[in-house]
Structure 1
């Protein structure tokens, strides 16, 4: 049997020695508190962090290099994949700092200079980065935009583009003539980039993929990879094909462990897990991370709807609420996700109040409650508001929320990937929604494929056994849940199977679906929670959905500055969240049993 024993030092990447890991080891309760309080003994040891909260060191180095060449003393840079995303950051900073002089914040677009290319340059994807340069005293405001929206560059994009920048292959766009940018040089440079025309899209590869697509912003020549760069990922010859395979897995047309060639041979319009008439991969849009999918869904709703508040129903992951509060007319928060709150919401609607959209998670994080999607859908149809459902925790194989949503969003960083080494997100449109036509037109107009090619290659590889992993994770999570529920020192265990909202979960559960890999537990005292956590021999850090069990004092990390507010919605500061992995079930139960036994020493 495979041992679950884990000993990852404070600040080490999770997984260890992984350059682009999306989690970091915070192995004790004290280290989590120290992180939140900004203590040097924690921050000084951190090699990485969750990418939207901790700007990866490769991104920081690239930003510093840009300032050294193009900036001034007292300035900082924040990096984005396109001019459009950078412009949204500038607009946000100006909205938060209205007295900021326009000359003190600007966008620097860096694009390939074909006249300074390397001889083997055609083998790589074409890099481009847009830097927002701003006064360093407003770094906190710019960081808010980075965290909430997920619009920033990925660490792999920054690493690659930094090298190109250092070698003179990236130049300031304004210094290149139109001829140099678009018309001269190799064919690969004759395509207009997203900084010039966000609607420009290249076609996909292969006869079976050349029909209408929504994620092919880079041309054929730009998608070639070589073994020297990507090693064992060479089997994925084109990033466009990798993206197509990912969309097919999300669409449910590919439900078996398969290599890329198999994925591309599957029928595009075959319906399986989604069970929605007319649905295909063309309704799936990829984003750099899950929160970016939520942010862009909200942005698209605002572009076609009236200037009305949105609803956040149920206690959500923190940035979902922040997005609808800070980007638009504001939000109304129903944080308990109860039937009584839906009653109140319905009374408001009956009284003539109108809202743009309702956002919810299925189930919620970290309380694992499931909203009554059937009732929400009926209200949305009657009173004409959009519904966006985050299916990350339930996963698209355990639950099918699309029939009740106008848009289903998900973080592919989590269980879809499993390897904890790449970010990704998706938004899925429901073709049976009465809003589908207007949303489809809006997405096709507004969507910009900013998912970095190398990230797509890693995500495609990681997700090939997605279907096989779900069953094992469901089984392990139920075993841990049963163990914790029986123990007298555990105050409460939160899991969809044992939730008072199980009825709502079961309505959406797929025929072979389980109850997911995430559960939370609270203790009768803080001391008990600390002893249990410190003696639990699993990886400990932010994120979830990893192939290995990952534990976290979630409320301390997510709501440290607002613990009383969180408690008012039943989110206990002593809560520990467990993302259960693929370990041997018996050994995993033993690991949790030993941590429970340690409480007896108090």
Structure 2
């Protein structure tokens, strides 16, 4: 659901979901500079109004309800729980506790919950996999668990929790250790028992001539036939993987997506590459976390390199879940020179992680040189293509692993999480990596999330073109204003030549840009008066902005400044609005800055 661009966007109040009235939204309204600071400072006037938040940072209230219910039945006083989609993901959380607080090892435990199912529904239940693995721990150590939840991205989705909560309340989601000899029954929420899509009358709120019983939030998100048969989840996953593989280069529906051959020519331009080398994860950070974990399993626990100023959790993963990190935060030629000297002196690394382009400075790494170094000195190259996206750039030929957040522009609707990981079949270490993933991979992307993701991504190709045009127009407006100090955008970056080497024949420069101002007051005035929604995330179908460094790095602003990332930077994710109206919106906000 996109927000009507004709109405004032600043009317979205603090703490409301973005889009409004969306039960599983992945963004939340923080419409003023003060609200962003208040959120980071933990001020009650902001936190008390939070209906939701970005899922890895804010645990959805439905997930919290299920966690409390599990504690009520299986836990003890003073305990808390975090929920994961499988025993393996829960076990990794427990192992993290062991490294962070060894004395707690006997107090952290796992309860694996599975459904009691009728034989007639066994196949359906196997398809949607309504399981929950709860990690129970002393509540005073919640910070440790939350750190793992945030960095790994492997927690349950809110839709999975919604379904499993209904089963749990009916007494048919139980501890696997107690399942023998118990009665079998299973009736999930009514909307999951449907065998056909439901068409809503959007004006009258009716279904088959009768008043629809759904609440308004559910109606807003699921209208227009989005309440689909969950048995289509496998087909939806296939279509999503084909789009990621690049074999779908036009806007097509599910039927056409499934009818295409998987080995046709595609935008990735790597021989023998197909959807078989595409893996789905619960979110983009989960794909990065599992990439790092599996690379260590393949080669051994070596230090990694993070090149260029990265999204916060990528660096934290490499630092906290392995032997350490060599960080090159400028993403400069001189830093690659230093890396080459280290390699010449027999220093060895597991992998180099980089973004193409980086967030929020939109600098592009020299992937050609990095690939040459990787081949000569035997380390993996992992490229996060979320910001560039594969319609604009093709980074696979230079990578061993390509990761992306499907939550962003691939979905666009800001109402579902997802991540992808791609292996390069022509990479030097492909056979070893393929063996590792074949052995380790489990598909934890919840069935209904996959259905939403497939529907949202059907017009991905055409949306990219519109977003590219709009972003360049906004970039030009900002660059022309005297109060704007710097605009960061791949087209105008000193690293543009590296971007252009990977740009696809019809690709643009993406929908993300950032700006700094000469005076902090101007940044605040511009942000507060910008008539667009404001909150975390990016790649939405509507323009979304945030004081990114304040929101992502509030506790380490001096560290950011040491890498050239200013605290007052404002980041813009440009949407699908009419270009002329979008330009006027930014011009009006710029008029509020000082003379």
Query: What TM-score, normalized to structure 2?
Result: 0.91
Q: Which residue of 1 aligns with 2:160?
A: 157
Measure, in 2, the Cα distance between the counterparts of 1:126 and 1:482: 49
Which of 460, 482, 489 matches 2:476? 482
Q: What's the Cα RMSD here? A: 2.2
Cα deviation code 1:18-55 (max 9, x no counterpart)? 00000000000000000000000000001000000000
Contact 1:313-1:336 at 8 Å conserved across structures: yes
Partner in structure 1 of residue 209 of structure 2: none
1:172 aligns with 2:165: no
Equivalence map 1:13-28=2 (5 Å): 13-28=17-32
Q: Does 1:425 align with 2:419?
A: yes
Secondary structure (helix, strand or coil) at the match of 2:487 reads strand
Q: Provide the rounded CA distance (Å) in 1 between the counterparts of 2:106 and 2:119.
A: 31
1:103 Cα shift? Answer: 2.7
Task: Give 1:351's match in structure 2, choosing from 319, 341, 345.
Answer: 345
User: Displacement, 1:235?
Assistant: 5.4
Matched, 1:282 2:269: no
d(CA) in 2 for partners of 1:185 and 1:42? 43
Verify the 8 A CA contact 1:310 1:331 in the aligned structure 2. yes
Please name the residue that 2:95 is paired with: 91
Shift of 1:122: 6.5
Aligned to 2:132: 129
Cα offsets for 1:455-498 (capped at 9, x unmatched): 00000000000000000000000000001001000000000000
Query: Unpaired segments of 5 or more residues in structure 1?
Result: 187-221
1:559 to 532, 543, 553: 553
Is the contact between residue 282 and residue 444 of structure 2 (CA under 8 Å) also seen in structure 1? yes
Q: Give the Å deviation of 1:227.
A: 4.1
Structure 2's unaligned 5+ residue stretches are 187-191, 199-213, 215-221
Does residue 533 of the first structure (1) align with residue 527 of the second (2)?
Answer: yes
Deviation at 1:223, TM superposition (A): 11
- Give a deviation string over 1:549-578, Cα, whole Å, max 9, x none: 000000000100000000010100010000
- CA-to-partner distance for each residue in 1:222-273, whole Å, 9 max, x for gaps? 9985547976135565100000000000001111111111000011011211
Distance 1:580 1:383 in 2: 39
Are the structure 2 counterparts of residues 235 and 127 from structure 1 closer, same or farther at C-alpha, using a change threshold of 3 Å? Answer: closer
- In the alignment, structure 1 residue 145 sits paired with structure 2 residue 148: yes
Which of these residues, 257, 262, 270, is aligned with residue 264 of structure 2? 270
Tell me how far 1:169 sits from its aligned partner. 1.2
| Cα distance in 2, alignment partners of residues 354 and 223 from structure 1 | 54
> Where do residues 148-547 of structure 1 align in structure 2 (5 Å cutoff)?
148-177=151-180, 226-227=196-197, 232-233=225-226, 237-547=231-541
Tell me the distance in 2 between the aligned counterparts of 1:576 and 1:416: 23
After TM superposition, give the deviation of residue 113 of structure 1 in Å.
1.1
How many angstroms apart in 2 are the aligned matches of 1:116 and 1:159? 23
Query: Which of 31, 44, 51 matches 2:35?
Result: 31
The separation in 2 between residues aligned to 1:315 and 1:276, in whole angstroms, is 28
For the 8 Å contact 2:128–2:446, the answer to whether it is kept is no
Tell me the distance in 2 between the aligned counterparts of 1:117 and 1:40.
50
1: CA distance, partners of 2:133 / 2:5: 45
The alpha carbon displacement at 1:176 in A equals 1.7
For 2:381 and 2:584, locate their aligned partners in 1 and report how far apart those are by CA, in whole Å: 42
Deviations, residues 366-420 of structure 1 (Å, cap 9, x unaligned) = 0000000000000000000000000000011000000000000000000000000
Residue deviations 1:311-342, cap 9 Å, x none? Answer: 00000000000000000111110000000000
In the alignment, the residues of structure 1 paired with residue 539 and residue 313 of structure 2 have an alpha-carbon distance, to the nearest angstrom, of 18
Per mean C-alpha deviation after superposition, the further-off stretch among 373-382 and 233-242 is 233-242
Q: Return the offset for 1:4.
A: 6.3
Give the drift of 1:355: 0.3
- SS of residue matched to 1:533: helix
| Cα distance in 1 between the residues matched to 2:82 and 2:271 | 42
Q: CA deviation at 1:600?
A: 3.0
Q: Does 1:48 find its partner at 2:52?
A: yes
Shift of 1:539: 0.4
Residue 5 (structure 1) shift: 3.2
